[in-house]
Chain A
Amino acid sequence: MTYCGYCGKPTGEADHAACARRLGVIDPPRFCQRCARRMVVQVTPAGWTASCSRHGEIHSAR
């Protein structure tokens, strides 16, 4: 099972189109896609990092 990075609910369950829009424009992911834990997110002027206590850190491409 995978989870929505914006709302933390299972990706198969609800409609996440609005979530995807927010993630595409102004939001870093807040929930781990693998376990739905809330991540510790640091936004910086040129990027972001998000870490899950179980699954480690992900970061922005730029």
Chain B
Amino acid sequence: MTTAPEQLDVLSVAREQVLERGVGLSEEQVLRVLQLPDERIGDLLDLAHRVRMRWCGPEVEVEGIVSVKTGGCPEDCHFCSQSGRFPSPVRSAWLDIPGLVKAARQTAETGATEFCIVAAVRGPDQRLLSQVREGIKAIREDGNDIQIACSLGMLTQEQVDELVAMGVHRYNHNLETARSHFPNVVTTHSWEERWETLRMVREAGMEVCCGGIIGMGETLAQRAEFAVQLAALEPDEVPLNFLIPNPGTPYEHYPVVEGPDALRAVGAFRLALPRTILRFAGGRELTFGDLGAKQGMLGGINAIIVGNYLTNLGRPAQEDLDMLQELSMPIKELSKTL
């Protein structure tokens, strides 16, 4: 008697398909992973970890991020405390060049190879782009050769080309959630507009960093939809955030994602994206506490943001570095990323 494929255990299927052959799970398969009972989470994370080790290796990519232009954004992303449309307590602020140089230096001192410059904007204007250009120049003059990424919203082709010329090697622009859920989260621009920026970034030769936020009212099916939509983009990096319900935003009263659901998402995204740099980003402190960070690192994650985020605080960088040492996971070095 043969067993119909849909009756096979999804983790057994994934072992052959993802671990052995490196083929990411389909939407329907990801959904089955997201529906696994709690007692299978250990098996899931174990498999996701093996997939990561096989297709990415043991190294962990460490990154620091900083906001150069905080708050006052004209867009209405419902999770965001930096939108100027909600009564959030976050006020507008600009980081000056010496502040940016210092932030880059502090990031490099942790052993990080990536430094991401972020601005809360729909897209960059000339003032912001010159600030970024001057900032990158000043970081280099400081003797800091850390790789520089940017996240400045939606871009025109000219702006993409300008960033390439500045030596920006990776661009972050998150699709945030499944295409079918996006209009519930953002009304001031479309998922397709975001996709278009990502397409231009890729074609210009920059690395593509694109992820999103778990816990914005999406169904499990939409979570699975999002994972395969990201896989179709073939991003170099996927930052995985868990919703931080921020005061004043429409999602202020949304519940924090439960640890087991977050772990299922981590494992499922790894099985959908076997070769991608899968980064723990914002919200892990609230969702997991200290314990879950380790479970995630042993469950498919191979990159972290150390130190603080844009408007929220992270754990001290040293705690994460100690954790990596304890797990015997080497930090990716600059020479190996060039």
Question: Which A positions have Cβ atoms within 8 angstroms of B?
Answer: 6-8, 25-28, 30-31, 38-48, 62
Contact = CB atoms under 8 A, between A and B. Distances in A.
B302 interface: no
Interface in B145-187: none
A48 B308 contact: yes
B40 interface: no
Interface centre among A26, A30, A47 (most CB of B within 10 A): A26
Question: What are the 8 tightest A-B residue pairs by CB atom distance, in nearest-first order?
Answer: A45-B307, A30-B89, A45-B64, A46-B106, A26-B312, A44-B103, A43-B308, A40-B91
Given A7-B247, A26-B286, A26-B313, A46 B90 contact: no
Nearest to A42: B93
Contacts of B317: 45-46
Interface of B: 64-67, 70, 89-93, 95, 99, 102-103, 106-107, 110, 244, 247, 285-286, 306-314, 316-317
B306 A43 contact: no
17 contacts: A7-B247, A26-B285, A26-B286, A26-B314, A42-B67, A42-B70, A42-B93, A43-B67, A43-B309, A44-B106, A44-B308, A45-B107, A45-B308, A45-B317, A46-B307, A46-B308, A48-B313
A41 B93 contact: yes
A25 B313 contact: yes
Contacts of B102: 44
Contact of B313 (A6, A8, A30, A43): A43
Contact of A42 (B89, B95, B106, B285): B95
